[in-house]
Amino acid sequence: MKKSNAVALIPIGVFIVFYLSLGIIFEYVMKISMGFYSVPVVVAFLIALFVAILQTKGETLEKKFEIMGEGVGDKNIITMLLIFMLAGIFVGVVGRSSAESVAYFMLSVTPPKFAVVVIFIVSCFVSTAMGTSVGTITLITPIAVAISEGTGFSLPLCVGSVVGGAMFGDNLSFISDTTIAACNGQGCKMKDKFRTNFATVLPAAIVTLVLITVLSLGVDISSGINKEYDMIQIIPYVLVLVCGVIGINVFVTLMVGILSGSVIMLLMGAVDFPALLKGMGDGASGMFETSMVAILVAALCSLIRYNGGFEALLNGIRCVFKGKKGGQLGIGLLVGLMDIATANNTVAIVMANPIAKEMAEEYGISSQKTASVLDTFSCIFQGVLPYGAQILVALSVVNTLGHSLSAFEIISNLFYPMLLLVSSICFILFVPERKK
């Protein structure tokens, strides 16, 4: 381990400049749809890694590979990669119809006046069960558009409620890639992080429901939404949630979800066996980029740490943030800035993880609290970025269905992420962490 060296942080700057500048050019200058996500993040990290290799002076190439291998071969990285694969397979098994069944069941048993409240709750549930905010937005936004058309609720309110609910689950889910990355990066159990996290998100979710209800009461409703649904398809989601909450190992939890989902889909005739296997393969393949990013960032951070970059960054943070509360705010700001630069909350957590771990040790912050702060603040920033995948996907779905909506119309109705920021800061400043 070398002494403090701020120059060792240059590879991170190279990544941010390359990725952010190209994303802005593609999205706002060239007007490419989803242009920010046309930039290959894996290529950007490879360039940054190459710069870090060149920066590591006085060592042979074999020694540099050894340093990178120590980072990639960490137990938490291997565990993270395996969980990523299983989470992708689970989503590939349960598919689209299960999420729609949840939504239409809830809409069928509640008065039309509370349709937007229902769509927020459904988005919370589906994203928590599936572990993906983008997937939830893709599935539930068409239903939100149908609610707006059929009832008279404003479209920005309906879509904003879906995006807000999706970020609730992205932050809280046991199989979300953000949760997996935060927990494994900090070495804490998911159930411990969940309990710490839940206390923070609950006030924000309750106040969001109250706000949506108040806004809904002032709207004249023309009709409700009634479509067929199948309650049996909801079972895999419920099993995964229950297993996660009671603290069953995440590998066992995911296997229960995959097996139950497979049996239900086959017995109901929703898919045949070849189609089921293809869904599993597609789900696992969907995690390829996330897994590669985790590997590249682990190698990159290992070199930066060896060259003294992390020590320099920690010295800078120590000058600004004092004490345990200041350390938590520093971690939140760190991951938030990473998310603004990458527009990807999982990548932001993976990049911030090693620095946050050292900060947690420096300031005496528990691993579950650190993981909770990382996950929460990354989801707060990601949920309101106008160039983030969540809002861009929502806009794409709305436009496909023949409506026109701007990112800032959605952002003005994103009550949950904004309230979550307030709740998170209040918990850091005024609520002491419980001792075991």
Least confident of 76-80, 88-92, 379-383: 76-80
CA 384-386-390 angle, to 5 degrees, is: 65
Q: Indicate the average pLDDT of the chain.
A: 84
Looking at residue 223, what is its pLDDT?
A: 63
Query: How many Cβ atoms are within 10 Å of 320's Cβ, its own excluded?
Result: 10
DSSP string for 194-257 = HHHHHHHHHHHHHHHHHHHHHHHHTS-----------GGGGHHHHHHHHHHHTT--HHHHHHHH
Contacts of 54 (CB under 8 A, 6+ apart): none
Asked whether 102 and 128 are in contact (CB, 8 A), the reply is: no
pLDDT at 1: 47
DSSP string, 297-329: HHHHHHHHHHTTHHHHHHHHHHHH--HHHHHHH
What residues does each domain of the chain span? 6-430
The model's confidence at residue 372, banded by pLDDT at 50, 70 and 90, is very high
Please report the sign of the dihedral spanned by the C-alpha atoms of residue 107, residue 110, residue 116, residue 118: negative
E strands present in 24-83: none
Helices 389-400 and 133-151 meet at what angle, rounded to 10?
Answer: 40
Q: How confident is the model at residue 422 (pLDDT cuts 50, 70, 90)?
A: very high
Q: What is the share, in percent, of the chain residues with pLDDT greater than 70? A: 94
Percent above pLDDT 90 for the chain: 23
pLDDT band at 142 (very low <50, low <70, confident <90, very high): confident
The predicted pLDDT at position 32 comes to 81
- Note the pLDDT of residue 39: 80
**With 50 as the cut, is the pLDDT of residue 86 above it?**
yes
- pLDDT of 50 reads 94
Residue 433's pLDDT band (cuts 50, 70, 90):
low
Structure token pair of residue 275: 């189609």
DSSP-derived letter for residue 269 is T
Q: Are 230 and 270 in contact (CB under 8 A)?
A: no
First CA to last CA distance, the chain: 33
In this predicted structure, what is the pLDDT of residue 103?
77
Q: What is the pLDDT of residues 146-187, one digit of tens each?
A: 888 877 888 999 999 999 999 998 898 888 888 988 998 898
DSSP type of residue 4 = P
CA distance 355 to 396: 35
Q: How far is the C-alpha of 120 from the C-alpha of 94, rounded, in Å?
A: 21
Question: What would the two tokens of residue 90 be?
Answer: 């689970």
* Over residues 51-72, mean pLDDT: 90
Give CA–CA dist 405/401, Å, rounded.
Answer: 11
Q: How confident is the model at residue 33, as a pLDDT?
A: 72
pLDDT at 376: 95
Contact 133, 126 (CB under 8 A): no
pLDDT per residue as tens digits for the range 310-325: 778 778 877 888 888 9
The pLDDT assigned to 358 comes to 86
Q: Does 2 have pLDDT greater than 60?
A: no
